[in-house]
Structure 1
Amino acid sequence: MKAWITVREYARLTTEPIDNPSLDRAHVSVTVFDWLCQLNESFERGGANLIQVEGRRWLRLDNYVGVLEAPCGTCLEILPKHLEATDDIVQGRQLLRRMIQAALDLPTREVGTAALELFDAPLSEWVMRQFLEALEYVIKRGVRFDYRRIEEEQPFLRGQLDVVGQMRQPPGKQHHFRIRHDLFGPDRPENRLLKLALEQVCRSTQVSSSWRLGHELRSMLSEVPASHDPRQDFRAWRTDRLMAHYQAVRPWCQLILDQTMPIAVAGQQYGMSLLFPMEQLFEQYVARYLERAKSSDTRLKTQAASAWLCRHAGGNFFQLRPDLLLSQGNRHWVLDTKWKRLNAEARNRNYGLSQADFYQLFAYGHKYLEGQGDVVLIYPAHSEFNDRLEVFDFSSTLKLWVLPFDLERTCLIGAETAGLPISNRASVGKALPV
């Protein structure tokens, strides 16, 4: 059995014994400690940090969430730190699943009460279960076959004779025929990818029901070889009418095979490793909510890139890329998401707001709104920040709103006061699939 360690963002891990382990402090073996340090080096080469080392016995996780499996078999589960003073693992897992499902636009399924037991499964087990149930649906609807061109040498004629190849036959083999023919079978890109993902699930799952279902499906796909080039096979994945029932399983297959970019950051492939940068996950989740909540005459654009900070020598300098841009007629709103905890009572410490963020929104307001309108900073809501702050005035015509986003109720608090053209009756990922 694999050893599971569940913590949350910014937790501290140590090789020393801990009397009262929690989601913020946990004990790991020396092997896992050293492996995390080595893994962090690869992240640093890519311009990111997975951990921060504090001495030789302590390290602190950064703001990545998901699951990492070490070579020794230890699984490290990292949950979002959205609630304070609580060790509610189930609630953290449900939030993480809901955010990933919404951010990656994964399909949902309606389920009965019998499936509720899987709600408490770690993220990797949940992903594998979703894949298995989607694959089971594909097999029940029918695995698609296709013709595959075969070129081989046989002592009999079949299909088409390869005249050029036959003329080049060496002496002593001229009684063998070089032939081409088409073979109708399940060996096609979609099925090869599903087989590769299924084999990884069968090796990784620790849930008995998923293990049984995985091996049942594996026997049904015994004639299908596993993919040797996933990227090429994903490019060849067809989306025509005959392949419509394959579309629901594709995102789960991509997630398992680490083909979902740019949100997913794949760990070392010792097992089922899935990491997500929490800032991007929160940004995508808010964007999905706004897409559903906005009025019909409102447009939403993510990562707008039409403005620059200045010009120099006839060219543009320093591109400005706000997270979200709402437009309704001639009115525009610039919104930026920040995965950070504010304290509405700590006015003497500027509520925890960053001066650099204000500079950033000030530039957005002048370049995208021409100095007239409203810009919005969105932070996760919690007990110390559950209502909007008083408006910040850059000028008489440019205002900055700081609004909390309630992750439990899936709504943007104070949106009406800020004049945003959205309705909080919409929600994202209301039904959590299993």
Structure 2
Amino acid sequence: MSITLTVREYARLTTSHVAHPDLDIAQVSPTVFDWLCDLNASFSQAGAALVQVQDRRWLKLDNYVGALESPCGTRIEILPKHFEQGDCIQQSRTLLRRMIQASLNLPAREVGAASLQRFDAPLTEWVMGRFLEALDHLVKRGIRFDYHRVEEEQPYLRGQLNTVRQMRQAPSRRHQFQISHDVFLPDRPENRLLKAALGIVCKATQDPSNWRLAHELRSLFHDVPVSRDIAQDLKQWQHDRLMAHYQPVKPWVELILQQQTPLAVAGEWRGMSLLFPMERLFENYVAACLRETLASGATVSAQVSGEHLCIHRDKQVFQLRPDLVVEHNGKRWVMDTKWKRLDSEMKGKHYGLGQADFYQMFAYGHKYLGGEGDLVLIYPRRARFQDALPVFEYAPGMRLWVVPFDLELGRLVCGDAVSLPFCSSHVDGSV
């Protein structure tokens, strides 16, 4: 029987007994503990860190959110560390889903009463449920078939006779015909990927309604062969008019097959595991929300890389990559997102701001704005950081604004401070 463990970023895990487990401290089995250590070693080889090993009995999670499934069946759900009051689990799950859906541009749909009752399910069940709903809708509209050329030997004529092969047959086999013909089959890259994702869902889901629907749909893909190369099949996914009804399900297929997640769990064990670096997820979420609220004609560019810090031996070195650049009517704003808690009352400690971030923004201002304009640092809004901080001035004409972003509303909160080009419906201070 599988176990589901719900924690949040930077939680501590131990094999020892925990008297009062919560979202920040929990007990895991020695098997899961060792598996996390091995998984962290593979992450470290790729330049990332999943956990911090404090000693032989304690692990501290890093800033990844999502879900992990161990080979022994234990599921670890990791939520964002943002809410402090109320039902933190349900609020965090709702926030995480909203951020993933906006960041990966997943198709949205109207939420009915039935889905609201299941909205407190873990992330993996939510992803699988949305995939099954999209697949069920696709199946009702019809699965696409394609013609495949078949060359075979039969005692009857069908299609075209291969005269060369027929003439080369031994006299004792002249009663057999060498023929080639077309067969209308569901063997397409799109259907092979759907079957692969459906196979994962059938094994991973623990929700009764998901399990029932998954096995009903699986029987409809009985004649579809298994995908031998998922990456190649994804490249061959067609987007023409006849395949338009396949498009809503594609993002969920890519998510389940772990091809589009910012970080997927690699290795022999491929359970239903989805991990997202919270810094990158926050950046993508802010960018997606800004694109919806900016005025017509304004553009948002992510990870711009046109400038370098200096030149060495006629070569540009130390590339500068701000998270976001907003442009409108010839004016430019350079922004960076930081998934960190600020405290507007900690004036003596500079509100919890990092000096290195200010040096970084100073370089952005000189290289991307020519030493004159507005720079913006964006942090998540919380109880102790409700409004934009007083402006920081690098020099006359170059200013740095530190503003909160409302995660629940998906809006930048900057009041009248930063003259960003937002729609007229968002000029009341909560952008």
Q: What is the TM-score of this pair, normalised by structure 2?
A: 0.94
Map of 2:264 onto structure 1 = 265
Cα deviations across residues 331-389 of structure 1 (Å, max 9, x unaligned)? 11000001111111122222111111111110000000000000000011111211111
Asked whether the equivalents of residues 83 and 91 of structure 2 are also in contact (C-alpha less than 8 Å), the reply is no
Q: Which residues in structure 2 correspond to 1:35-184 (within 5 Å)?
A: 35-84=35-84, 88-163=88-163, 165=165, 176-184=176-184
Aligned 1:20-419 pairs, distance under 5 A: 20-84=20-84, 88-163=88-163, 165=165, 176-261=176-261, 263-268=262-267, 269-414=269-414, 416-419=416-419
AA in 1 matched with 2:321: R
Distance 1:398 1:205, change over 3 A: same
Q: Is the partner of 1:120 in helix, strand or coil?
A: coil
Secondary structure of 1:110's aligned partner:
coil
**Identical pairs, percent:** 58
Give the AA of the match of 1:265: A
Q: Give SS of 1:144's match.
A: coil
> 2:316 is aligned with what amino acid?
N
Separation in 1, partners of 2:401, 2:228 = 51
Q: How far apart are residue 151 of structure 1 and its match?
A: 2.8
Q: Is the 8 A contact 1:70 1:270 kept in 2?
A: no
- Aligned-partner Cα distance in 2 for 1:425–1:97: 26
Residues 23, 87 of structure 1: 8 Å contact kept: no
Stretches of structure 1 lacking an aligned partner (at least 5 in a row): 427-434
The whole-number CA distance in structure 1 between the counterparts of 2:256 and 2:403 is: 35
How far residue 152 of structure 1 moved from its aligned partner, in angstroms, is 3.0
**What corresponds to 1:13 in structure 2?**
13
State which drifts further: 377-386 or 278-287.
377-386
Post-superposition CA distance 1:239-271 (Å, at most 9, x none) = 11111111000100111111115x242355442
- CA offset at residue 308 of structure 1? 1.2
- Structure 1 287/55 Cα, relative in aligned 2: closer, same or farther at 3 Å? same
SS of 2:402's equivalent in the other structure is strand
Change (3 A) 1:424 1:278: farther
Q: Which amino acid aligns with 2:202?
A: C
By relative contact order (CA 8 Å, sep 6+), the higher-ranking structure is 1
Residues 183, 416 of structure 1: CA spacing in aligned structure 2 closer, same or farther, 3 A cutoff? farther
C-alpha displacement of 1:330: 2.0
Cα pair distance change 1:169/1:57, threshold 3 Å: farther
1:422: which partner in 2? 422
Contact 1:8 1:24 in 2 (8 A): yes
The alpha-carbon distance between structure 1 residues 360 and 169, as it changes in their structure 2 partners (threshold 3 A), is farther
Deviations 1:36-64 (A, max 9, x none): 00000111011000000011000000000
AA paired with 1:60? K
RMSD of Structure 2 on Structure 1 (CA): 1.8
Counterpart Cα distance in 1 of 2:375 and 2:165? 70
Q: What is the alpha-carbon distance in structure 1 between the residues aligned to residue 172 and residue 365 of structure 2?
A: 81
> How many Å separate the matches in 2 of 1:324 and 1:248?
28
Matched to 2:215, the amino acid is H
Q: Is 1:69–1:273's contact at 8 Å kept on the other side of the alignment?
A: yes
Q: Aligned with 1:187: secondary structure?
A: coil
- Taking the aligned partners of 2:172 and 2:265, their CA distance within structure 1 comes to 53
Provide the rounded CA distance (Å) in 2 between the counterparts of 1:229 and 1:369.
Answer: 46
Secondary structure (helix, strand or coil) at the match of 1:363 reads helix
CA contact (8 A) 1:267 1:275 kept: no
Q: CA deviation at 1:118?
A: 1.1
- Cα separation, partners in 2 of 1:168 and 1:264, compared to 1, 3 Å: farther
Deviation at 1:81, TM superposition (A): 0.5
Q: Is the contact between residue 411 and residue 424 of structure 1 (CA under 8 Å) also seen in structure 2?
A: no
Paired AA for residue 389 in structure 1: L
- Does the CA contact (< 8 Å) of 1:415 and 1:422 recur in 2? no
Residue 228 of structure 1, CA deviation: 1.8
For residues 283 and 404 of structure 1, the distance between their equivalents in structure 2, rounded to whole angstroms, comes to 13
Tell me if structure 2 keeps the 8 A contact 1:187–1:225.
yes
Number of equivalences: 425
Q: Once the 2 structures are TM-superposed, how far is the Cα of residue 119 of structure 1 from its aligned partner? A: 0.4
Aligned counterparts of 1:404 and 1:49: Cα–Cα separation in 2: 27
Matched to 1:226, the amino acid is V
* Partner-residue secondary structure (3-state), 2:126: helix
SS in 2 for 1:225: coil
TM-score normalised to structure 1 length:
0.94
Q: Measure, in 2, the Cα distance between the counterparts of 1:123 and 1:375.
A: 35
Worse-matched range after superposition: 152-161 or 368-377: 152-161
| Structure 1 residues 4 and 166, CA gap change in structure 2 (3 angstroms) | same
Instruction: Give SS of 2:114's match.
Output: helix
Deviation at 1:424, TM superposition (A): 8.7
CA separation of 1:173 and 1:343: change in aligned 2, threshold 3 A: farther
